[in-house]
Amino acid sequence: MAKELLILAPVSGKVKALSKVDDPVFSGEMVGKGFAITPSKSETQVISPVGKGKVKMAFEGGHAYGILLKPVELLLHIGLDTVGLKGEGFEQKVFTGDKLKKEKLITNIDLDILSKKAKSTDTIIIVTNETLGDWKIERVAKTNVKAGEVLYKLVK
């Protein structure tokens, strides 16, 4: 019997392949496999990409989160080169150890600040290479997606 894990869109916007992300670490799938979303201009919130999970690690500044969705781990990375903003443009709402559920607010974002000061606003949601194993990724959202809708699924 096949197992399935759903990965939800943390923001509304345009779905893009990782190969189209302007960062060699993500586009080269060095950290993991998945997809990116270019947030719509009106987006102000980032919500949980899982129906049930746990924040394994919240990076300082609120730009990235390691999320445990047993048995895999996800990396949610908001924007490119956002670590240098040191929290500017982010209002972090969850921290290491917090439990996640569908549509739980992770952080508020200021897209004006991110658009001006970050390399990109692309929000990346990947399954880490270390935990992907024999799970297969199946894209569900084709072009545009709304926050909370299924972005892709993992099938085993």
Q: Which of 36, 47, 77, 145 is catalytic?
A: 77
Residue 5 lies in a domain: no
Q: How many domains does the chain have?
A: 1
Residue 59 lies in a domain: yes
Query: Residue 2 pLDDT more than 90?
Result: no
Cis check: omega of the bond before 71, within 30 degrees of 0: yes
Residue 9 lies in a domain: no
Distance of CA 152 to the CA centre of its chain: 12
Residue 53 lies in a domain: yes
* pLDDT (tens digit per residue) in 50-85: 999 999 999 999 999 999 999 999 999 999 999 999
Residue 2 lies in a domain: no
**In this predicted structure, what is the pLDDT of residue 1?**
65
**Domain residue limits at 76:** 14-155
CATH code for the domain of 37? 2.70.70.10
Average per-residue pLDDT in the chain?
96
Is the torsion defined by CA of 31, 144, 100, 62 positive or negative? positive
77 in catalytic set: yes
Residue 103 lies in a domain: yes
Measured CA to CA, the distance from residue 111 to residue 45 in angstroms comes to 10
